[in-house]
């Protein structure tokens, strides 16, 4: 959403009659999956512009951001070798399906910047963020061994798949850095945020051991798969990498940084660790979204901390603002933070209504 309340939508469609308003960026020629970008006015009763995006193969728009001037920034994945480009840092599509990053002007009829990002296999841009200068930060998924490395802290892929992280510096959108992030297993990236200094914070899921940097909150994996948080400095070096999880399977889905540099994350985890912790510490209160609150108000469990939303034991998923999509019950809200660099918890507040069924909390 921009400063005037206009909404910007991005996604994928197979419809040949998807609404097109204004000058289209692409005209479909085949029955394929195409990306789309649409701007809707603040009243919600008019499409300001709407267009297909893509080429001669499947294209999916997965991420969108808007700057203060109303320019839209998009990221995703395409198999098209004729995807529309503008001043690209990579002008070829050497792989199966690879990522792209596009900047669209405020009227939706001109590409200000558009480039591929990827290698010889499958890669994608899942999320992107902007800083105050309009520089573009992305993270996503990579299986290619030939990503265009620039100022990389990790120049080779570590396992079957890694996260990728890249920055294009405004105003000319040169590739300031591009790097893999991963170990001997597999990684995925779900969130990225940027602070006022230009440092990028990534989060996602990993099954790779031995990735943590020194003196971080959690230096070892405790389960089969773990969430992670990483900081990439403005010059592209790796500031820290910490695991965050317990004995189960933990996923961190999104991340934000406030004006003071505090990091806030959200995700989900399995409840086995919650049950074990409660048996060890009967004074701990347990909530349906995976955050423990002790009497002193701080989250202390070494397992599933800082998770705002989760999954219920019967398989229902929590949807922000809507409560659990399972059989009854109501979901509370959790908010946990830690200070940048210190990785010490500063706050955990909770309000939740629990329901008990067959002796178990849901």
The pLDDT tens digits for 198-249 are: 999 999 999 999 999 999 999 999 999 999 999 999 999 999 999 999 888 8
pLDDT in tens, 282-303: 443 333 334 322 222 223 333 3
Q: What is 238-260 written as a DSSP string?
A: EEEEEEE--SSBEEEEEEEE-TT
Mean pLDDT over 75-89 rounds to 97
pLDDT at 31: 74
pLDDT of residue 20: 97
Over residues 251-264, the mean pLDDT reads 92
- Separation between Cα atoms, residue 318 and residue 321, nearest integer Å: 9
What are the Cα distances from residue 254, in Å, to 20, 25, 181, 279? 31, 30, 17, 30
Alpha-carbon distance of 227 to 273, in angstroms, equals 14
Q: Of the ranges 57-66, 73-82, 118-127, 249-258, which one carries the lowest mean pLDDT score?
A: 249-258
Q: How far is it, in rounded angstroms, from Cα 15 to Cα 46?
A: 20
- CA distances to 11, 35, 65, 183 from 56, in Å: 17, 12, 25, 34
Which pLDDT score is estimated for 29?
82
What average pLDDT score do residues 302-306 get? 34
Do 37 and 9 touch, CB atoms closer than 8 A? yes
pLDDT confidence of residue 271:
54
- Integer Cα distance of 109 and 70 in angstroms: 13
pTM of the model: 0.78
Residues 249 and 270 sit within 8 Å (Cβ to Cβ): yes
Note the pLDDT tens digit of each residue in 143-156. 999 999 999 999 99
CA separation for the pair 116, 231 (Å, rounded): 24
Pairing of strands 226-232, 200-206: antiparallel
C-alpha 69/C-alpha 64 separation (Å) is 15
Q: Give the lowest-confidence range in 15-19, 181-185, 230-234, 311-315.
A: 311-315
Domain with CATH 2.130.10 in the chain: 7-270
Please give the pLDDT value at position 40. 98
| Backbone torsion region of residue 160, taken as left when φ is above 0, otherwise alpha when ψ lies between -120 and 50, otherwise beta | alpha
| Topology of domain 7-270, CATH | Methylamine Dehydrogenase; Chain H (2.130.10)
CA dist., res. 146 & res. 88, Å (int): 17
Average pLDDT over all residues of the chain: 80
Comparing 88 with 292, the larger pLDDT belongs to 88
């Amino acid at each position: 959403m921009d400063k005037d309340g206009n909404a910007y939508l991005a996604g994928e469609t197979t419809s040949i009659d998807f609404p097109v308003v204004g000058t289209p960026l692409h005209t479909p020629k085949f029955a394929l999956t195409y990306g789309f970008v649409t701007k809707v006015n603040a009243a919600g009763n008019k499409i300001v512009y709407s267009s297909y995006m893509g080429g001669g193969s499947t294209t999916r728009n997965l991420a969108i951001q808007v700057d203060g001037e109303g320019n839209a920034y998009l990221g995703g994945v395409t198999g098209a070798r004729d995807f529309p480009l503008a001043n690209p840092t990579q002008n070829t599509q050497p792989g199966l399906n690879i990522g792209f990053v596009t900047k669209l002007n405020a009227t939706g009829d001109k590409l200000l910047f558009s480039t591929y990002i990827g290698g010889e296999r499958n890669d994608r841009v899942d999320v992107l963020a902007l800083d105050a200068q309009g520089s573009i930060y992305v993270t996503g998924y990579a299986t290619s061994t030939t990503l265009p490395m620039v100022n990389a802290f990790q120049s080779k892929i570590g396992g079957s798949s890694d996260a990728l992280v890249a920055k294009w510096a405004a105003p000319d959108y040169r590739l300031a850095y591009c790097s893999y992030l991963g170990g001997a297993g597999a990684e995925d990236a779900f969130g990225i945020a940027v602070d006022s200094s230009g440092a990028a914070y990534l989060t996602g899921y990993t099954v790779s051991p031995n990735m943590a940097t020194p003196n971080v909150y959690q230096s070892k994996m405790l389960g089969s798969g773990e969430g992670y948080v990483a900081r990439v400095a403005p010059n592209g070096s790796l500031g820290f990498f910490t695991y965050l999880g317990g004995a189960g399977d933990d996923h961190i889905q999104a991340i934000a940084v406030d004006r003071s540099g505090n990091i806030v994350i959200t995700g989900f985890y399995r409840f086995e660790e919650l049950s074990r912790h409660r048996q060890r510490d009967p004074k701990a209160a347990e909530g349906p979204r995976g955050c423990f609150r002790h009497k002193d108000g701080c989250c202390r469990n070494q397992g599933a901390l800082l998770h705002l939303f989760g999954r219920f034991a019967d398989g229902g998923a929590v949807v922000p603002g809507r409560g659990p999509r399972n059989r009854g019950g109501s979901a509370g809200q959790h908010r946990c933070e830690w200070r940048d660099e210190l990785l010490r918890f500063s706050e955990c507040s909770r309000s939740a209504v629990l329901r008990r069924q067959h002796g178990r909390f849901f």
